[in-house]
Amino acid sequence: MNLPVIVLGARGMLGTDLMECLRRRNIPAQGYDLPELDITNAGHVESVVGQAKQIINCAAYTNVEKAESEAELAFRVNGRAVGQLGRQAAKRNIPVLHISTDFVFDGMLDRPYAETDAANPLSAYGKSKYEGEKALSASGCRFCIVRLQWTYGRAGTNFVKKLLDTARAGKPLRVVDDQVGSPTATREAAEIVCRMMELPMSPEGIYHLAAKGYVSRYEMAQFVFETLKVGVNLNPCKTSDFPSAAKRPLNSRFNCGKLEKLLGTAMRPWQEPLREHLEQV
């Protein structure tokens, strides 16, 4: 029987692009999301794990601000449920590729983060995602953790969409210039995840995935509006100018050398996929 790849969180930003990528590559795939699959429901998880050749887990609680007041829910979805998924997969020797985040780091390093750097999340969201990483690694399953950052895509809410919505409303924009990272298209991330799955041996361990090069949020916003030739009242500010419930890492830069070595190719510069995305939207 030709078992499918199971994608959890299939209608989210990354999940949508993953499902399209799998179909383009003629990889049998089945996607699940709320309400038909709740990753915190052991019965739901058991029913789909038994159908799978491999599992890609994109399901997550992602509201960084609300996680501070809904920490129990964030830890249940991002932490305990991931461990439960891993234990179910271990029983059947099914590999799990799990999506994590740059928020597992505190952003205090003065260089890009490698997979071997110690995690020290600042927020409830980051702590819940790190809890999921630890729970998966302790579950006994064959696992691969792919950490992403600054993602944008056609589905869901993201920084690029918020910029464009604010500009269309004619409102002035203040964007932080002290948070630095790599804008990463979910379409690019999906292609790389599919390539990882097609390798002769399923990769295991932790990998950092981000576009090549680094930029501040403010510089990213400048690029978006200059590319679209949109006039907007855009001004730089500091993270401290925005009181928020959740703390965010100022340095989200990733060292992607481990993944580049695995695939034998370099990441694309962040400007190229972002320009392509803007042409489509």
Catalytically annotated residues: 125
Q: Are 5 and 53 in contact (CB under 8 A)?
A: yes
| Angle in degrees, CA 202, 32, 139, rounded to 5 | 45
Q: Which two tokens stand for residue 105?
A: 């780091």
Q: What is the dihedral of CA 46, 51, 54, 55, to 10 degrees?
A: -40
Q: How many CA atoms lie within 13 A of 71 on its CB side?
A: 10
Question: How far, in Å, CA of 104 to CA of 114, rounded?
Answer: 12
Helix or strand or coil: residue 263? helix
DSSP for 95-153, please give it.
-EEEEEEGGGS-S--SSPBPTTSPP---SHHHHHHHHHHHHHHTTTS-EEEEEE-SEE-
Question: Going by C-beta distance under 8 Å and a sequence separation of 6 or more, which residues neighbour residue 120?
Answer: 104, 105, 106, 108
Closest of 26, 43, 44 to residue 35, by C-alpha: 44
Closest of 5, 19, 39, 64 to residue 186, by C-alpha: 19
Biggest alpha carbon distance in the chain?
58
Query: Could you identify the residue written with the tokens 């299939």?
Result: 10
Q: Which two tokens stand for residue 193?
A: 């995840």
